[in-house]
Amino acid sequence: MDFYKTLMFVAGTLLPFNCNGSSQLPNFIILFADDVGFGDLGCYGHPSSFTPNLDKLAQNGLRFTDFYSSSPVCSPSRAALLTGRYQTRSGVYPGVFYPGSIGGLPLNETTIAEVLKPLGYATAIIGKWHLGVGPKRMYLPTNQGFDHYLGIPYSHDQGPCQNLTCFPPDIKCFGMCDQGLVTVPLMANNTIKQQPVSFPDLEKAYSDFATQFISASVRRKQPFFLYYPLHMPSLLRMTHGGNGGLLKCGKGTTYEGGMREPAIAYWPGTIRPGVTHAMASTLDLMPTIAGLAGAKLPRVQLDGFDMSDILFRNGPSKREAMFYYPMSPSEEYGLFAVRLGRYKAHYYTQGSSLSDTTPDQDCHETAFLKHHDPPLLFDLEADPSENYNLATPEHPEYEAVLQLIRDVKAEFEAGMVFGEAQVGKGTDPTLEPCCTPRCTPKPTCCTCS
């Protein structure tokens, strides 16, 4: 494999780009880590996290300081990454998908994989899908542009917990359990390969599969796209994961700690090592990758921008604003917050049980939904922790900033068309993946290896 032709992107997002020695088309690898907070990596200042490989990528790549997910929770953030569209457009809300969810990422949404396929790319996903299974497993990745899939179809904790153990044999669950009737399966394309999945063996299975996929693509001189959404035990162990560092709150909230993520772009010889403060988002991956490959973008409203100026010319971002939707967005409340340049306005705030481990009471589940009029206003360059509200009678000079943000918010919301709520379609226990369908009693009868 020739890494001089591969772009890699790592995030809360990890992004590598290009690695084929003979094709003129770049290869793409996206490592999307589950529940990684802004302060979780050593290269982002964590005093004890041991992340030497990621730190090396950061040292030799481009590290982002102002990179955002589209959502503070799982399913909607994945939908936005793959489509370049806010989850409100695709309908991946409210909250996240469950094992028996009836809905999923709509098949009329276009993914990065589907954009690259017409150019001859080999495409694969390894890891956590969490964008629906559905009737006849219609929403799995092989129906969304991916040639190959090895992974679990939803979260590792969305199954019956034997003795409250999420990662057998000994890693305990601190979060929710018993969300499904069946044990968590390992899928190979649309087929259950193992149930229950052996979590201790999963890392090697994934790395072997990734190596085989990349090696086979290189032998065929075929450009490839590898999407590797990781799922790790760290958040459930409460030692790492979801750590916002100096940022306020964490998972489940629209404060910075809930949506600003570590991100690294790596392409030796092409991306100059360094740090960028340009604003960017997972939404920007679709147009960036399409632009680099020369692929046609779908004829729909996209919310992402090509990051090429940031990546290759140390230039400014085309993104002027970031829009913050809560876990369960609605047309009634609309946007909870807007960032325009260095300033961020909160129109609504709400805590989350997913941030209960942080000491700040504003982050907790007991911090109920609160409307702010005038909105809270923070200067994120001077005050990234969102401690000092500038929208007070003592600071009338910021009224012009608030008006600019109001105008941007109004224009964005006027153009937002909410798609049908896919998670809101509910669940059907018969849709939960079981390798021996219609067996009883569940979950013990759903067993295969």
Active site residues: 74, 130
**99: part of which helix (H) or strand (E)?**
none
CB 153 within 8 A of CB 138: no
Residue 40 contacts by C-beta under 8 Å, 6 or more apart in sequence? 46, 49, 51, 234, 240, 241, 242, 243, 245, 262
List the helix and strand counts (H, then E) for the chain.
10, 18
Is the bond preceding 106 in cis, omega lying within 30 degrees of 0? no
Q: 75 vs 53, 229, 436, CA distance in Å? A: 27, 12, 27
Query: Which residue reads 């996903």 in tokens?
Result: 125
> Which phi and psi angles does 443 have, rounded to 5°?
-90, -5
List % helix, strand, coil for the chain (3-state, nearest 5).
25, 20, 50
Strand order in the sheet with 337-340: 321-324, 337-340, 343-349, 370-379
